[in-house]
Structure 1
Amino acid sequence: MTAGFIKHQSHFRPGETMDNLVGAVTRRGLAVFLRLDHTAAAIQAGLDLRPTQLLVFGRAEGGTPLMQANQTIGVDLPLRALVWCDPADRTWIGYDDPLWLAARHGLTEGNPRHAAEALSLLVETCVLQAAGTDPSKPRGAL
């Protein structure tokens, strides 16, 4: 396991999980900057890759306070989430925890820490809903 990387198994196929994630982040006012299909790129290069997609998303109100405290965190922003299918045909969704990102850049106290906590909770909520594992909703209800 990679430090700071959180993953959850999804109850949906990869494409549906990613569609669910796009819906979850946009409903919360986050912008989707990029939806990258790594599998399609691999196919274009004549290579084989199980379903793998990356979503880049965020909003200035969440990331800017962190960058005001230490601009180096900008290398890790906007936020990203990966959806992939493993060799056992299980779908996963994962992301770098904003709290871990903040700690990586020395933002462990005060307002930057609070901003990272809020982002961490927001991303976890979106990911759990996308995977169909949000405990506050019946399975499959997004």
Structure 2
Amino acid sequence: MKPTLLIFPLMLFSLVAFADADAVKTVAATDIVTKTSPYSVAETMNKFESIVKTKGLEVFARIDHQQNAKAAGMEMNAAQVLIFGNPKTGTPLMQQDAAVALDLPMRVAVYADKAGDVHIAYHAPDSLAVNFELKDSAVLPQLADALNKLTAAAITTTP
């Protein structure tokens, strides 16, 4: 066997043997909850934002990706993101693992797919427990329930 062929297994062994397991964290796949809306992207997001504000949550930003694409000389289907939250909900999660700040405040996207169907979507809060050190968090089920209700209200049709 050639000496150069022996080097590769030794290099691979050294990477495995001397790697610091705590230095790199692999994040699990995130679950995304998606619901179909009977309204346009703008109508759905307007309803959702109004509901969020009515519930006393703070809206930090509303991003219109289609407008931003147009400004860059590009085209895309309508897509908007609302960034919102409540420090009383998010702070306890960040006290458990400050890295959860990467996913907070919460974000909800409303977008039109290639077929023109409109969807409202968000990361399932339960996925935060997988991606961060949030074992036995009482906040996550409450957050999941709240997001489910808020997004359902935004797409509910009234006769």
Give the TM-score category using the shorter length.
0.7 to 0.9
Distance 2:158 2:114 in 1: 24
Look up the match of 2:158: 140
3-state DSSP of counterpart to 1:123: helix
The CA deviation at 1:28 is 1.3
Larger radius of gyration: 2
CA-to-partner distance for each residue in 1:85-117, whole Å, 9 max, x for gaps? 0111110000011121132102121xxx21111
Q: 1:36 aligns with which of 53, 59, 63?
A: 63
Matched, 1:131 2:155: yes
Q: What's the RMSD between the two structures over aligned residues? A: 1.2
Q: Residues 114-125 of structure 1 correspond to what in structure 2 (within 5 A)?
A: 114-125=138-149
Distance 2:144 2:85 in 1: 12
3-state DSSP of counterpart to 1:50: coil
Look up the match of 2:134: 107
Matched, 1:83 2:110: yes
Q: 1:4 aligns with which of 31, 35, 39?
A: 31
Q: Which runs of 5+ in 1 are unaligned?
A: 133-138
Look up the match of 2:20: none
Q: Which runs of 5+ in 2 are unaligned?
A: 1-28
Look up the equivalent residue of 1:114 and give its one-letter code: A
Please give the TM-score of this superposition, normalised by the length of structure 2. Answer: 0.79
3-state DSSP of counterpart to 2:70: helix
| Conserved? CA contact 1:14–1:91, under 8 Å | yes
CA-to-partner distance for each residue in 1:65-92, whole Å, 9 max, x for gaps? 0001110101100000100001111100
Look up the match of 2:75: 48
Instruction: Report runs of 4+ in structure 1 exceeding 4 Å deviation.
Output: none
The CA deviation at 1:63 is 0.2
The CA deviation at 1:12 is 0.7
| Conserved? CA contact 2:96–2:133, under 8 Å | no
Percentage of pairs with the same residue: 31
Q: Residues 57-68 of structure 1 correspond to what in structure 2 (within 5 A)?
A: 57-68=84-95
3-state DSSP of counterpart to 1:121: helix
3-state DSSP of counterpart to 1:120: helix
Distance 1:3 1:58 in 2: 19
3-state DSSP of counterpart to 1:107: coil
